Amino acid sequence: MTSTVDARGLDYRGESVAGRRNPMTGPFYVEGAQPGDTLAVRLESMVPSRDWGWTFNVLARNVVDPIAAAALPPFDIVRWSVDAEQASVVLENPTSGLAGLKL
C-alpha cells in the first residue's frame, strides 16, 4: 500500500507536506532499485485518500490556441466532494449550469 501527494503537495489530510508535484509520477521509493532499472508495477486497486479534491476552473493556457488562451477567465481553484463508496464526485459550489453534474 502507498499514497502520494496531490499536485499542490497536499497529503491525505490536506496538509502541505511537499512542493508542487505531479502525483502521476510519485515520488515512490523501491528498495533495491537503481537508476536505469526497469520496474513492472501492477495496480490492484486505487482508493481516494480523502473526501475532497480540487481542479482549476479553466483549461491550462498551454494546451489551447494562444488566441483562445488570452480569452480564458482567470484561474480559480474549485473543490469537489469525493464519494469513494459510490465512486463519484460532485462540485462543492457549482454554478447553476453545473449544479447537477456528477462524475
- Judged against a pLDDT cut of 70, whether residue 24 lies above it is answered with no
pLDDT grade for 29, boundaries at 50, 70 and 90 = confident
- For 76-101, give one letter per residue: b (16+ CB within 10 A) or e: eebebebeeeeeebbbeeeeeeeeee
Pick the more confident residue, 94 or 43: 94
* Phi/psi-derived region of residue 32, left when phi > 0, alpha when psi is between -120 and 50, beta in every other case: left
pLDDT at 27: 62
Q: What is the pTM of this model?
A: 0.70
Residue located via cell numbers 479553466: 58
**Which pLDDT belongs to residue 25?**
62
- Does residue 66 have a cis peptide bond before it, meaning omega lies within 30 degrees of 0? no
Give the pLDDT of residue 93. Answer: 93
3-state secondary structure of 76: coil
pLDDT of residue 86: 93
